[in-house]
């Protein structure tokens, strides 16, 4: 299963008037990153960055001046996303802008059935909140200390880790954070606990006498006892 965790930065808050100026995303397959990413800056085609938006992401009109407009990058975006699920935090915002940009160049919108909103997932799992990306990083012990301003690719990387936690947690790391990802991590009362593999596996605590006694008991249950599928084999192995 392919999923793209993505984020956008925009010139403002109104998808009807404002424009996307940055999009970043990372590809997951079966909830693990493949290493494929997309990160594009987009010229807003004459629309100025609102000062409030500038304070959030720090992307200036001057920086965007020589970047390609959305129409010239749409094919690259669609090729990267393909048939994957589009996953974003407060997806209504991001998809509103994505579909508005597609409409401007005559492309069909992305269907709601192809979109997952991690904010909705978080609200169902943690109804008392808070459920901002920063708050969820704190809840799950994900290091976001390098997030001084919003950035589409960085936010996508953080959201990928949050997303895995929201859908049930991970037994192996996502591969986004270095050598520690070779070990399993779990969360206990808000703390991240690293589980290391034993150098030597623990031996079985069952004795041969235990296995033989159990097999004898199972036989008394009759031919339909489900344990017969396993007990006799275990007894033979134990002997």
pLDDT in tens, 159-205: 999 999 998 865 434 444 444 444 444 444 444 455 566 666 666 67
User: Does residue 174 or residue 56 have the better pLDDT?
Assistant: 56
Question: Residue 218: pLDDT above 50?
Answer: yes
Question: Residue 49: pLDDT above 50?
Answer: yes
The phi and psi torsions of 171 (rounded to 5 degrees) equal -95, -20
Which of 122, 142, 169 is the endpoint of a domain?
169
Whether 199 is in a domain gets the answer no
Mean model confidence pLDDT for the chain = 84
- How confident is the model over 121-153, as pLDDT tens digits? 999 999 998 999 999 999 999 988 877 678 899
Which of 169, 188, 221 is the endpoint of a domain?
169
- Is residue 212 within a helix (H) or strand (E), and if so which, with residue range? helix 208-220
Sign of CA dihedral 223, 228, 233, 236: negative
Give yes or no for a cis peptide into 97 (omega within 30° of 0).
no
- Specify the number of domains making up the chain: 2
- As annotated, the active-site residues are 150
What pLDDT is stored for residue 4 in this prediction? 98
Give the 3-state DSSP-derived string for 165-200, with helices as H, strands as E and coil as C: HHCCCCCCCCCCCCHHHHCEEEEECCEEEEECCCCC
Question: Residue 111: pLDDT above 60?
Answer: yes
Whether 127 is in a domain gets the answer yes
What pLDDT is stored for residue 122 in this prediction? 96
- Over range 208-237, report the average pLDDT: 65
Lowest pLDDT segment from 80-89, 126-135, 203-212: 203-212
Helix (H, G, I), strand (E, B) or coil at 143: coil
What pLDDT is stored for residue 205 in this prediction? 72
In terms of domains, do 12 and 109 share one?
yes
- Over range 101-116, report the average pLDDT: 97
What pLDDT is stored for residue 226 in this prediction? 66
In terms of domains, do 9 and 107 share one?
yes
In terms of domains, do 127 and 30 share one?
yes
Please give the residue range of the domain that contains residue 20: 2-169
């Amino acid at each position: 299963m392919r999923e793209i965790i993505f984020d956008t930065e925009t010139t403002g808050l109104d998808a009807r008037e404002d424009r996307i100026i940055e999009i970043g995303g990372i590809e997951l397959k079966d909830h693990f990153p493949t290493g494929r990413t997309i990160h594009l800056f987009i010229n807003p085609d004459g629309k100025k960055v609102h000062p409030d938006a500038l304070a959030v992401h720090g992307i200036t009109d001057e920086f965007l001046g020589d970047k390609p407009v959305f129409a010239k990058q749409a094919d690259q975006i669609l090729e990267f996303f393909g048939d994957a699920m589009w996953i974003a935090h407060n997806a209504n915002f991001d998809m509103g802008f994505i579909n508005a940009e597609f409409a401007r160049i005559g492309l069909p919108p992305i269907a709601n059935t192809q979109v997952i909103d991690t904010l909705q997932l978080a609200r169902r799992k943690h109804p008392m909140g808070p459920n901002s990306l920063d708050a969820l990083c704190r809840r799950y012990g994900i290091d976001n200390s390098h997030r001084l301003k919003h950035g589409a690719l960085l936010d996508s990387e953080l959201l990928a880790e949050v997303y895995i936690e929201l859908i049930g947690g991970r037994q192996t790391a996502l591969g986004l954070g270095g050598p520690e990802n070779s070990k399993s991590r779990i969360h206990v009362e808000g703390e991240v606990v690293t589980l290391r593999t034993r150098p030597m596996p623990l031996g079985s605590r069952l004795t041969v006498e235990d296995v033989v006694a159990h097999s004898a008991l199972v036989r008394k249950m009759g031919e339909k006892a489900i344990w017969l599928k396993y007990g006799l084999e275990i007894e033979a192995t134990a002997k």
